[in-house]
Structure 1
Amino acid sequence: MPVSPETQKTIALVVRHNTVGIEEPVRGIIAFLQVAGYRVVFESETAAHLNMPDIGAMSASEIGEVAEAAIVMGGDGTMLGIARKLAPYALPLIGINQGRLGFMTDIPIERTLPVLAEILAGKSDSEKRTLLEGRVLREGVEIASGLAVNDVVVARGAGAGMAELKVTVDGHFMYNQRSDGLIISTPTGSTAYALSAGGPLLHPSLGGVVLVPIAPHALSNRPIVLPDSCNIVVEVVSGRDVSVNFDMQTFASLAHGDQIVISRSPHHITFLHPEGWSYYDTLREKLHWNEYPSGEGKLR
């Protein structure tokens, strides 16, 4: 019996812009989903960059209201952008890697169709990730806000000297820090900028937030992991061209005395992975933990 438009399930496609040769695999996924009985729509920015007028387009909010899932073809940056928009809708996300690293877009492009078939048949591992939300206050008035899947970063300008930041946690003074900036990261973001600045890896299931100073003036100023129930306030004491960004995608310029109030978001994102997926497999593959210098470090 054919599926009626009223009962047909919708799956959204989000594709990284300006990816050479992407049209053929996109067409293949669309055909596969349509044969399986799904209605396929593009996220509106994807539709604007792909010349496929036969496929409908929806805004992120419309997708969140009607879709069963969103398939994201790109790198982690593509996933970050759409995940923040869809977070209020708890829509499952399936990541197909068209980027370089692919911590969140973990399905290899060559395995797309068989893995999609398994996931749509219910053979998948579901994983929830927390987000941070931040509000920028100037004299008590909110002037900007944002969500972060990876991190909230307060940093000085490229040509400026060190910034001084006052950090308070749950109303308790932590420190005044002189540095190039401060990274406030989720467990998801602990494998991103926070890791390159010397922060620890946090398993995604941990309820933690990591604070990582960027090139601190005092070498004793080390990263710290806090409960994600904390309310963190970062105040700009001094420094030129200081700004705050959320996942490097939303920016706000800061003035002395501005406060960034950061807490765990009530929303979360859900990734659907191939059945048997392992976070540790991902770490070995992406961070090359299984590699040794030639002839060294192997058990004999």
Structure 2
Amino acid sequence: MRVKLIPNPEKHWAVEMARELEPFLARYGHAVEDEGAEATICIGGDGTVLYSNHMGLIQGPVIGIGSRSSYICQLTRDSPKEDLAGLLESGKTVDVMALKASINGKEQSAINDFVIHSKNYRVVNLEVTDNRGRYSFRGDGLIISSSLGSAGYAYSAGGEKLAPEDRKICIVPICPYLRAFSPATVPGDSVVGVKADRDCAFIVDGIFLQDLKKGETVNVEKGTDITFYQGVGHYKQG
């Protein structure tokens, strides 16, 4: 099998592990390739997986290697290398629904979530539309997460924690005034629209930041599935 290795260049242990894995994988008949790979191994943690997806670097099913606090990653830096070989040999994968956001025709992809957040510590008025109807509330912002991302920021803000393979979208307000808007989970085929009455920050997977201008609408819906080897999100397939 042709395997692509993506280490986080800012983590010395990840770069060293990538060097060690190349001859190890060769013993199992796997060749490390940058192009035409049939699987991708992201080394460094959840952020490395998210960054690699955003930059379009992933080819084939994904294995993440991170720390014990990682959620997306199936393995830790302390896991025996044989565990990695076992995942590749098993061929067992799970398709996870990612999200796609569109602002003025420009699309962004997220594995975990999109966040709309007020700037300069000011409350923002948000108008939200989904398959249930149209709603407005005042608060600090809004989280729109995938099922996999539901265990992160969205869950901390009061949203529902879903299994990674669920095909649903979580809509979670950030500090809504008078709790006028409650967290909701909608079907994966929903389109969630959000418009703010002032300029906001638009954050993709907690890493990439851009502006959402006053009056602009961002539409979020299901994107292209991301395929992971078994074990993503600390969830084991039977």
Query: TM-score if structure 2 supplies the norm length?
Result: 0.89
Match of 1:211 among 147, 150, 171: 171
Instruction: Give how far 1:72 is off.
Output: 1.0
Q: What is the one-letter code of the residue matched to 2:226? A: I
Task: Provide structure 1 residue ranges, at least 5 long, that are not aligned to the other structure.
Answer: 1-8, 42-57, 282-300
Percentage identity across aligned positions?
28
- In structure 1, what is the Cα distance between the partners aligned to 2:57 and 2:162? 21
Match of 1:118 among 86, 93, 96: 86
Contact kept in structure 2, 1:210 and 1:225, CA below 8 Å: yes
Tell me which residue corresponds to 1:262: 220
Tell me which residue corresponds to 1:69: 39
Tell me which residue corresponds to 1:235: 195
Contact kept in structure 2, 1:146 and 1:250, CA below 8 Å: no
Contact kept in structure 2, 1:152 and 1:247, CA below 8 Å: yes
Given the superposition, is the C-alpha separation of residues 88 and 168 from structure 1 closer, same or farther in structure 2, using an over 3 Å criterion?
Answer: farther
Task: Provide structure 2 residue ranges, at least 5 long, that are not aligned to the other structure.
Answer: none
Given the superposition, is the C-alpha separation of residues 280 and 71 from structure 1 closer, same or farther in structure 2, using an over 3 Å criterion?
Answer: closer
Match of 2:30 among 16, 38, 56: 38
Instruction: Give how far 1:134 is off.
Output: 0.7
Q: What is the one-letter code of the residue matched to 2:115? A: V
Given the superposition, is the C-alpha separation of residues 176 and 28 from structure 1 closer, same or farther in structure 2, using an over 3 Å criterion?
Answer: same
Q: What is the one-letter code of the residue matched to 2:38? A: E
- In structure 1, what is the Cα distance between the partners aligned to 2:15 and 2:174? 40
Contact kept in structure 1, 2:8 and 2:15, CA below 8 Å: no
The answer to whether structure 1 residue 101 and structure 2 residue 69 are counterparts is yes
Tell me which residue corresponds to 1:165: 126
Match of 1:82 among 42, 52, 57: 52
Tell me which residue corresponds to 1:293: none
**CA deviation string 1:79-113 (max 9, x = no partner):** 11113445986x1001112x452111121223241
CA RMSD of aligned residues (A): 2.4
Instruction: Give how far 1:278 is off.
Output: 6.0
The answer to whether structure 1 residue 136 and structure 2 residue 97 are counterparts is no
- In structure 2, what is the Cα distance between the partners aligned to 1:192 and 1:160? 22
**CA deviation string 1:5-56 (max 9, x = no partner):** xxxx421101112213444432221111123333213xxxxxxxxxxxxxxx
Given the superposition, is the C-alpha separation of residues 75 and 169 from structure 1 closer, same or farther in structure 2, using an over 3 Å criterion?
Answer: same
The answer to whether structure 1 residue 13 and structure 2 residue 2 are counterparts is no
Given the superposition, is the C-alpha separation of residues 245 and 167 from structure 1 closer, same or farther in structure 2, using an over 3 Å criterion?
Answer: same
Contact kept in structure 2, 1:87 and 1:268, CA below 8 Å: no
Match of 1:27 among 8, 19, 28: 19
- In structure 2, what is the Cα distance between the partners aligned to 1:183 and 1:254? 14
Tell me which residue corresponds to 2:181: 221
Deviating 4+ runs (over 4 angstroms)? 85-89
Given the superposition, is the C-alpha separation of residues 24 and 244 from structure 1 closer, same or farther in structure 2, using an over 3 Å criterion?
Answer: closer
The answer to whether structure 1 residue 279 and structure 2 residue 231 are counterparts is no
Query: TM-score if structure 1 supplies the norm length?
Result: 0.72
- In structure 2, what is the Cα distance between the partners aligned to 1:108 and 1:82? 18
| Count of residue correspondences | 236
- In structure 1, what is the Cα distance between the partners aligned to 2:222 and 2:14? 36
Q: What is the one-letter code of the residue matched to 2:61? A: P
Tell me which residue corresponds to 1:148: 110
> Which moves more between the two structures, 256-265 or 29-38?
29-38
**CA deviation string 1:194-234 (max 9, x = no partner):** 01111110112222111000000022421000011111111
- In structure 2, what is the Cα distance between the partners aligned to 1:147 and 1:76? 16
The answer to whether structure 1 residue 197 and structure 2 residue 153 are counterparts is no
Q: What is the one-letter code of the residue matched to 2:88? A: L
Q: What is the one-letter code of the residue matched to 1:11? A: V
